[in-house]
Structure 1
């Protein structure tokens, strides 16, 4: 994996979890087989939360879940295709059966095959729409009714700096992330009981760029990522938002590398 190692669960984190004023929450994390999702699973499990991790690469999920359980975490895993609404509902239902009602959804799964519009890569554009946009909506549809009925809950959507800045080769990707931002803002305005947080990472060392098929876009991203953040920087931001008191809604967090300008 290309993502830099995240901070493992250890005695210090376990001690923090025991002394933390917020109770353990049931948390869904999508795209958890690498990168930001993996780092977030490690951090939240270390803080004592009950975690269900999902992705399509089940062998990585299983290895991560076993590692975190061996360190004392309450973690389960299940294969998940976020582009399939029924599969996402089954994922949420599995968490409820395993740990109890879902308190937090971390919509993290995403793809980023950058290319210029002139390349006409329709399959890649549609895949970004399916995963980055429909996947977020499928997750919200799966958990929002239960959260509203219980009078509490939290949806954390991982967008991107691309939700705020459009760059060449990133038009479609940025469009999906603008949409993720809009969905989170809409949820914030519509619900009086469900917290909504959008986390927009700058450049992060993850596997997203490994699937760029356009040579020029891939070369540009390689240069862009020379100042990349560790994925745990984003995991810490997500944990911060989750652990605020129930009457505090951290609506948006942008996390950039200090050395970056537009990154």
Structure 2
């Protein structure tokens, strides 16, 4: 029997990149996956692909910045499957920008998705996990949650916050409630995240960075998430930093 055959997993940001890859890998391990993102068409395509491979999936279009929508996501999961075992809190944006360019809409969008959206998802699933006295929250941070690069001040601020939140959650919820928490910190990954960079100054510098290294495929991060959630209930993989071999920092 696959390792995750009894697990119901919500994956946010599932329409592309790390979220899509994670949903596919979890489904292959037997998990029932609930796919959440804004782009309904992509979610439906992913659901169909998972089901064609023999998996079970539910597509729920969701904007993580909408608190009520995220509550509805959790409720639809419970209505369909009766439990929530894992949340992969992956939805995120990366509109990097130099502070002096004052692209303030990018600042607030980054905070709304990368931090407030993470909190919305935790709020939505935590009551169920507390009642079950079991569960696993995987928060996707970044190497930028350890190191700040020019153009990444606000983005790094959100990812540092996700790291701090994850550690606090683990300390509070693990010993007393049996809820595991993992913080995953990818380095450079070949996804759509860089497409959101509208600041020409940062786009030019990012091009030079990516020319010097070989970004990871999203599947490598998905494999790390599967490893963490497949560990025995007595074991918490608290933190996973995954970098391309040629990424120095």
The answer on 1:247 being equivalent to 2:234 is yes
In 2, are the aligned partners of 1:204 and 1:225 still within 8 Å (CA)? no
In 1, are the aligned partners of 2:3 and 2:29 still within 8 Å (CA)? no
Residues 189-232 of structure 1: CA distance to partner in whole angstroms, max 9, x if unpaired? Answer: 11121100000000000000001001121122223234100000
Tell me which stretches of 4 or more aligned residues in structure 1 moved more than 6 Å: none
Structure 1 residues 1-263: aligned runs within 5 Å: 18=1, 20-191=2-173, 192=175, 193-226=178-211, 227-262=214-249
In 1, are the aligned partners of 2:3 and 2:30 still within 8 Å (CA)? no
Question: Partners in 1 of 2:181 and 2:3 — Cα distance?
Answer: 21
Partner-residue secondary structure (3-state), 2:54: coil
Cα separation, partners in 2 of 1:22 and 1:33, compared to 1, 3 Å: closer
Deviation at 1:130, TM superposition (A): 0.4
Q: How many matched pairs? A: 244
In 2, are the aligned partners of 1:25 and 1:49 still within 8 Å (CA)? yes
Question: Partners in 1 of 2:215 and 2:207 — Cα distance?
Answer: 10
In 2, are the aligned partners of 1:29 and 1:37 still within 8 Å (CA)? yes
Question: Partners in 2 of 1:27 and 1:153 — Cα distance?
Answer: 10
Partner-residue secondary structure (3-state), 1:101: coil
Give the unaligned 5+ runs of structure 1.
Answer: 1-17
In 2, are the aligned partners of 1:68 and 1:75 still within 8 Å (CA)? yes
TM-score by length of 2: 0.96
In 2, are the aligned partners of 1:30 and 1:37 still within 8 Å (CA)? yes
Deviation at 1:22, TM superposition (A): 5.0
Question: Partners in 1 of 2:137 and 2:187 — Cα distance?
Answer: 20
Partner-residue secondary structure (3-state), 1:52: strand
Deviation at 1:100, TM superposition (A): 2.1
Question: What is the Cα-based RMSD across aligned positions, in Å?
Answer: 1.0
Question: Partners in 2 of 1:204 and 1:25 — Cα distance?
Answer: 27
